[in-house]
Amino acid sequence: MPVNPRFSRVVAVLLSPIVLPQARRAKRVIPRLPDAAQPWRGAVAGNDPLSILVLGDSTAAGVGADTQEDALPGNLARTLSSEWERGVRWQAMGENGATTQDIILRYLEDATRAQYDVIFLTVGANDALKLRSRGAFRRDLRRILRRLRSVSPKALILVSSMPGFAQFSALPNPLRWVLHLHAQSLETAARSFLRSEPGVIMSPPAPEYTPGFFADDRFHPSASGYRDWVEFALTDAKLIRGS
């Protein structure tokens, strides 16, 4: 019988004698890959350059790729430059393991020192991993968005969808299933209020990951995974641009 994602934390508690040992073991055996090498800023040549910020967790830090040019920021910049026929100046901020609360405490001040044309907010995975409540996640996400909007009132803000935890072979079941269920719960909570946020687009739900999507840890995207991710994440943004 399907389980309502709203009860994901109840399910996690009921299965805690199994999933807690699985989570501890996964933390020990999954390799901890480094952040992408510096610099965490760059440019794509062209007229009337867009200013882009990538803010968030390990995917903002480029974990799984050698450089940020090969990770989310570089792929995002090149794709938008090509689609919109403009130059790009990009910057990345964030850290491996960051929740929405961590972003508020450690990065939001720096992220609001300048205006941006496009902001890609990649958060939620660690809120799911830490089983944060729907209310806490929604509250923190709203606070981040309102602060970003106050400084960049005309920015297109893209919010990442949750990872497809059901496809994470590095995680055993039922841990994988519990995380997938809770990620669905948080994503549903986010989408419910993002619909009323002007200029904010949440990426479509994660598609079936392609072979080669994952890095060596089978947890973070590889360079080719970041390319795939940018392609599906920008689907709605491209439609809006072309409308």
Q: What is the pLDDT of residues 106-125, one digit of tens each?
A: 999 999 999 999 999 999 99
- Inter-axis angle of helices 223-233 and 235-242, to 10 degrees? 40
The average confidence (pLDDT) of the chain is 94
The span from the CA of 187 to the CA of 114, in Å, is 28
- Asked if omega into 174 is within 30° of 0 (cis), the reply is yes
Q: What is the pLDDT of residue 239?
A: 54
**Is it the case that residue 1 has pLDDT exceeding 90?**
no
Class of domain 5-242: alpha beta
Torsion angle of the four alpha carbons 73, 205, 85, 223, in this order, in degrees rounded to the nearest 10: 40
- The domain segmentation of the chain, as residue ranges, is 5-242
Q: What is the pLDDT of residue 235?
A: 80
Give yes or no for a contact between 182 and 128, defined as CB atoms under 8 angstroms apart.
Answer: yes
Query: pLDDT tens-digit profile of 201-231?
Result: 999 998 999 999 999 999 999 999 999 999 9
The span from the CA of 211 to the CA of 143, in Å, is 36
| Confidence class for position 90, pLDDT limits 50, 70, 90 | very high
Pairing mode, if any, of strands 118-122 and 156-159? Answer: parallel
